[in-house]
Amino acid sequence: MKIKTVENLLERLDEDLIWRKKELAAIKLLVDNSDGLTQKVNTRMAVVFLYAHWEGYIKNSSTCYMIYLSQFKFRYNELTENFIALSLRGNFNICANTHKVSDNCSVVNILINNLHQETRIPYKEVIPRIGILDSNLFFEILFTLGLEKSPFDIRKQFIDRVLVKNRNEVAHGKNTPITKTDFEVMFREVTEMLELFRKVIYIAAKNESFKKVP
């Protein structure tokens, strides 16, 4: 997969979001057009769908952003701290698995004497493919990508106490009651978060927020 320009990145983000929104709209229609036991089943099923698209879009669009950044040849001193840490992650892993001072010094030498060296931002295995996307993991992704987190601060409790909690309980076979109103709130919040995440990635790429401010 190649993503060469900001416009290409936005196209990928939009393509991925469009089909997800179509599926979510279809599942919402099922809820709206049902009642009684059928509606109960549909709302519980819909919550699992909501969470699946939440996790899928965040992780996939994050990877697209990393692929876009990985094409550039940066010097360490051109990047923000989070991307320096990502670029050196392989070195850090070596240090974590050795007692050799020489291996540790190789990283120290880069940080002190060779920040002008050319590097590339990695994209493979940066975004975890497994693990529940609760607020802790989500905000770690935001930090890793250097994305603006303040728009999501007010949604921490929703992510953990509503979306993830209900998804887990339904997925694990608990008879958790979810009303049509509950689902409508979750539908609105998840849809807004996906749109917002698309926006913050686009702004970060357009404004080159991955670069260190001189």
> Do 202 and 97 fall into the same domain?
no
Instruction: Answer whether residue 214 is part of any domain.
Output: no
> Do 126 and 58 fall into the same domain?
yes
Cα separation of 207 and 10, whole Å?
14
Instruction: Report the pLDDT value the prediction gives residue 95, as an integer from 0 to 100.
Output: 53
> Do 98 and 189 fall into the same domain?
no
* 132's tokens: 């529940």
> Do 143 and 113 fall into the same domain?
no
Instruction: Answer whether residue 39 is part of any domain.
Output: yes
> Do 198 and 157 fall into the same domain?
yes
Successive 10-residue mean pLDDT values, the chain, 214 residues: 93 98 96 95 96 97 96 91 82 60 65 76 84 95 95 96 97 93 96 98 96 83
Instruction: Report the pLDDT value the prediction gives residue 34, as an integer from 0 to 100.
Output: 94
Instruction: Report the pLDDT value the prediction gives residue 135, as an integer from 0 to 100.
Output: 97
Number of Cβ within a 10 Å radius of residue 35: 11
> Do 128 and 56 fall into the same domain?
yes
Instruction: Answer whether residue 213 is part of any domain.
Output: no
The CA-based angle 148-193-4, given to 5 degrees, is: 60
> Do 65 and 109 fall into the same domain?
no
Identify the domain containing residue 25 by its residue range: 6-72+122-207
3-state SS, the chain, equals CCCCCHHHHHHHHHHHHHHHHHHHHHHHHHHHCCCHHHHHHHHHHHHHHHHHHHHHHHHHHHHHHHHHHHCCCEEHHHECHHHHHHHCHHHHHHHHCCCCHHHHHHHHHHHHHCCCCEECCCCCCCCCCCCCCCHHHHHHHHHHHCCCCHHHHHHHHHHHHHHHHHHHHHHCCCCCCCCHHHHHHHHHHHHHHHHHHHHHHHHHHHHCCCECCC
Task: Using the 3D structure, point to which of 120, 150, 180 is the last residue of a domain.
Answer: 120
Instruction: Report the pLDDT value the prediction gives residue 122, as an integer from 0 to 100.
Output: 85
Residue type, 69: L
Short-list 24, 36, 30, 52, CA closest to 171:
52
Instruction: Report the pLDDT value the prediction gives residue 109, as an integer from 0 to 100.
Output: 62
Q: Quote the number of domains for the chain.
A: 2
> Do 98 and 200 fall into the same domain?
no
Instruction: Report the pLDDT value the prediction gives residue 197, as an integer from 0 to 100.
Output: 98
> Do 140 and 188 fall into the same domain?
yes
CA-based Rg of the chain, rounded to a whole angstrom?
20
